[in-house]
Chain A
Amino acid sequence: MQQIRERLFRRLIILCTWASLVAVGLICLFLLLSGLPALMEIGPLRFLLGTEWRPLAGLYGILPMIMGSIWVTAGAMAMGLPVGLLTAVFLARFCPEWLHRILSPMVGLLAAIPSVVYGFFGIAVLVPAVRQIGGHGSSMFTAMLLLAIMILPTVISVSEAALRAVPDSYYEGALALGATHERSVFFTVLPAARSGVLAGVVLGVGRAIGETMAVVMVAGNQPRMPKGLLAGVRTLTANIVLEMGYAVDLHRGALIATGLVLFIFILLLNQLLASITRKEER
Chain B
Amino acid sequence: MKHLFGRTAIIAMLLLSLLVGCAPAEQSSTPEGGDTPAKPELIQVITREEGSGTRSAFVELSGVEQKDASGTKMDHTTVEATTSNSTSVVLATVMQGPAAIGYVSMGSLSDGVKALDVEGVKATAENVQNGSYKLARPFNIATKGEVSAQTEDFIRFILSNQGQVIAEETGYVAIEAQGDYEAAGASGKIVVSGSSSVTPVMEKLKEAYVALNPDVNIEVQQSDSTTGMTNAIDGICDIGMASREVKDSELEKGLDATVIAMDGIAVIVHPENSVPGLTMEQIKDIFVGTITDWNEVK
Residues of A within 8 A of B (CB): 54-57, 78-79, 81-83, 85-86, 120, 123-124, 127-138, 141, 148, 186-187, 191, 216-217, 220-224, 229-230, 232, 234, 241-243, 245-248, 251
Contacts and interface: CB of A to CB of B under 8 A. Distances in A.
Contacts of A127: 93, 96-97
A123 B93 contact: yes
Nearest to A225: B79
Contacts of A191: 7
A270 to B, nearest CB: 24
B16 to A, nearest CB: 9
Interface residues of B, number: 41
B28 A234 contact: no
Contact of B7 (A136, A187, A243, A251): A187
7 contacts: A82-B21, A86-B18, A127-B93, A134-B37, A136-B99, A191-B7, A222-B80
Interface stretch (B83-91, B239-247, B253-261, B278-286): B83-91
Q: Which of A79, A85, A129 has the most CB of B within 10 A?
A: A79
Given A136-B38, A221-B82, A243 B49 contact: yes
Nearest to B52: A246
Nearest to A130: B28
Contacts of A187: 4, 7
A134 B36 contact: yes
Contacts of B24: 133, 141, 229
B17 A224 contact: no
B45 to A, nearest CB: 9
Interface string B9-23: 001001101101100
B82 A79 contact: no
Sorted from nearest, which 10 A-B pairs have the closest CB atoms?
Answer: A246-B51, A79-B21, A82-B18, A221-B83, A134-B36, A136-B44, A242-B49, A220-B82, A242-B85, A224-B79
Nearest to B37: A134
B74 interface: yes
Nearest to B80: A222
Given A136-B82, A187-B7, A222-B82, 12 more contacts: A81-B14, A82-B15, A83-B18, A86-B18, A124-B96, A129-B28, A132-B31, A133-B36, A186-B7, A220-B82, A223-B79, A243-B49
Given A138-B93, A221-B83, A222-B80, A246 B49 contact: yes
Nearest to B223: A248
A222 B79 contact: yes
A206 to B, nearest CB: 20
Contact of B83 (A56, A81, A136, A234): A234
B61 interface: no
Nearest to B45: A136
Interface of B: 4, 7, 11, 14-15, 17-18, 20-21, 24, 27-28, 31, 33, 36-38, 42, 44, 49-53, 74-75, 79-85, 89, 92-93, 96-97, 99-100, 224
Nearest to B72: A57
A13 B176 CA distance: 65
Contact of A123 (B15, B81, B92): B92
Contacts of A124: 92, 96
A223 B17 CA distance: 29
Contacts of B81: 222
Contacts of B31: 132
B17 A81 contact: yes
Contacts of B53: 246
Contacts of A57: 74-75
B52 A230 contact: no
A134 B33 contact: yes
A4 B53 CA distance: 60
A56 B15 contact: no
B167 to A, nearest CB: 23
B222 to A, nearest CB: 12
B33 A216 contact: no
Contact of B37 (A130, A217, A230): A230
Given A138-B93, A243-B49, A186 B17 contact: no
Given A81-B14, A137-B97, A251-B51, A132 B28 contact: yes
B27 A133 contact: yes
Given A148-B21, A186-B11, A234-B83, A123 B89 contact: yes
B78 to A, nearest CB: 9
Nearest to B77: A54
B51 A55 contact: yes
Nearest to A125: B96
Contacts of B79: 222-224
Contact of A133 (B33, B49, B80): B33
A78 B21 contact: yes
Contacts of A54: 50, 75
A232 B85 contact: no
A72 to B, nearest CB: 14
B17 A78 contact: yes
Contacts of B51: 55-56, 243, 245-248, 251
